[in-house]
Structure 1
Amino acid sequence: MQWKLFADIAERAGTDAVTVQVPSDDPTVGDALDALFETHPELRERVLADGEPESRAGIAPDVNVLLDGADVFATADGLATEVGKGAELALFPPVSGG
């Protein structure tokens, strides 16, 4: 399973793509995120935020968690959303500029 990382998240990881192994028959976005933190613990502080609303499962408000281009928090399942084979996962902070 592969994560695509963008902007400062990719800079912290030192790469824009990370392949993770998820030891589950029915992996979820949360399982894949845990596996990412195991291989790149430096991302934990950037991606997670203490005291955030339960609806975002502790994910920082300025980080989008995408599955096949869609925000996982736009569905009722959030991080519990199952990840199928060949799915694309991404961590995407807001981008601004002028």
Structure 2
Amino acid sequence: MTEWKLFADLAERAGDKHVAVEADAGDTVGDALEDLLDGRPELEDRVLEDGDLRSQINVLRNGTNVLVEEDGLETELEDGDELALFPPVSGG
């Protein structure tokens, strides 16, 4: 069991800031993302575009952006991992 932390409008679309999914150690971040989006079409539309992760969405595992510093959605999960999903951040 793995838990996602969702921020800003992503939490609103999912209905909660914390969502547990069935992914376990050995599964990938992509597997956990599929579990998160399953049955949540509003969230899926916000996170995916034509079946691929939108470029401005950030996916973190234990505070590290897996898309930049790890193997992307193929990053394997370990016991106790914390996953987080961030929408684009704009400054001013």
TM-score normalised by the chain length of structure 2? 0.86
Equivalents in 1 of 2:83, 2:39: separation in Å?
Answer: 16
- Counterpart of 1:49 in structure 2 is 49
- Counterpart of 1:66 in structure 2 is 60
| Two-structure CA RMSD over aligned residues (Å) | 1.9
Equivalents in 2 of 1:30, 1:71: separation in Å?
Answer: 13
Q: Secondary structure at the match of 1:65?
A: strand
Structure 1 vs Structure 2: percent identity of aligned residues?
54
Which amino acid in 2 is paired with 1:35? D
Which has the larger share of strand? 2
Structure 1 residues 61 and 85 mapped into 2: Cα distance closer, same or farther (>3 Å)? same
Structure 1 residues 91 and 12 mapped into 2: Cα distance closer, same or farther (>3 Å)? same
* C-alpha distance after superposition, 1:31-88 (max 9, x if no partner): 10011112423211100123xxxxxx82112210111111111135210000111111
Segments of 5+ residues of structure 1 without an aligned counterpart are 51-56
Question: What does 1:1-98 correspond to in 2, within 5 Å?
Answer: 1-22=2-23, 26-50=26-50, 58-75=52-69, 77-96=71-90, 98=92
Which amino acid in 2 is paired with 1:30? G
Segments of 5+ residues of structure 2 without an aligned counterpart are none
Aligned length: 91
Structure 1 residues 58 and 19 mapped into 2: Cα distance closer, same or farther (>3 Å)? same
